[in-house]
Amino acid sequence: MIEIDKNGYFITGSDTDAGKTYIACEVIRQLRESGIEVEVRKPVESGCQKDERGNLVAADAMLLRQANGDSQAMAIIAAYRFRAALAPHRAARLEGIQIFLHNLIEACEIKRTDNRLIVEGAGGFYSPMAEDALNADLASALQLPVIIVVNDRIGAVNQALMTIAAVESRHLPIAAVIMNQVGESQDNDMDNLTDLSQYCDYPLFQCLHQKPLVKIFRQENKVI
């Protein structure tokens, strides 16, 4: 189990489309069920669609908001939203905007220091996130424990170990590694969780077909 951190978590992926948002929502849900106040951030999201009023809708940030009981304004959760489905800094350029690391750090500031901050990155840990920053740079600036989400498919052990090494190189604590079965089908002979456990001492979990994640947190020696 994971000890509940006093500050929160930075949720990153081993790659894009690993299911970070689903896992982030599960983390938020479990923390809320334990009575812990949470603030959520998806500081930058690209690939947004326009609604009937012409406003950009950040789908991932909307799911985070719902998971947190609709308790925060979208403008706070997702400060930077762009239409093009590109790396955020390139999507921003198409709209005549430049975003920098300091902008993302400011977007992640919280009002109450006793709240846990849950930040979902954009893409993988080394994916570009701003003109001068990777996801890794924002994680380093926030100094939050990292939850790594891995698409549980062929090659997942390699992807997991590379991401673990990348996070360790930034001297950030790793709270957990979660194998997330995004697809419905999987080879029955494949067992990435067991294979990864031979090379990884961090808490490991598996989410089957993006169904509710098993309880992952421990508080006061009780699993919640």
Which among 214, 223, 143, 224 is positioned nearest to 179, based on CA atoms?
Answer: 214
Per-residue tokens: 6: 């006093």
Question: Rounded to 5 degrees, what are φ and ψ at 202?
Answer: -85, 160
- Does residue 223 lie in a domain region? no
Is pLDDT of 53 > 70?
A: yes
Q: What percent of the chain has pLDDT over 90?
A: 83
The number of distinct structural domains making up the chain is 1
Is pLDDT of 47 > 80?
A: yes
- Does residue 224 lie in a domain region? no
Per-residue tokens: 183: 């697809």
At residue 190, the 3 state secondary structure works out as coil
- Does residue 190 lie in a domain region? yes
> What pLDDT is attached to residue 92?
97
Give 178's strand partners: 149, 205
List the CATH number of the domain containing 204.
3.40.50.300
- Does residue 154 lie in a domain region? yes
- Does residue 94 lie in a domain region? yes
- Does residue 202 lie in a domain region? yes
- Does residue 45 lie in a domain region? yes
Output the average pLDDT for the chain. 93
48-52, 93-97, 161-165, 216-220: least confidently modelled range: 216-220
> What pLDDT is attached to residue 224?
45
For 170-215, the pLDDT digits (tens) are: 999 999 999 999 876 666 688 999 999 999 999 999 999 888 899 9
For 104-143, the pLDDT digits (tens) are: 999 999 987 789 999 999 999 999 999 999 999 999 999 9
- Does residue 150 lie in a domain region? yes
Is pLDDT of 223 > 70?
A: no
> What pLDDT is attached to residue 221?
46
> What pLDDT is attached to residue 51?
85
- Residue-range definition of the domain harbouring residue 34: 2-218
Is pLDDT of 29 > 60?
A: yes
Which among 178, 161, 109, 169 is positioned nearest to 134, based on CA atoms?
Answer: 169
Active-site residue flag, 50:
no
Question: Of 6, 20, 42, 111, which residue is the catalytic one?
Answer: 42
pLDDT range class, residue 222, cuts 50, 70, 90: low
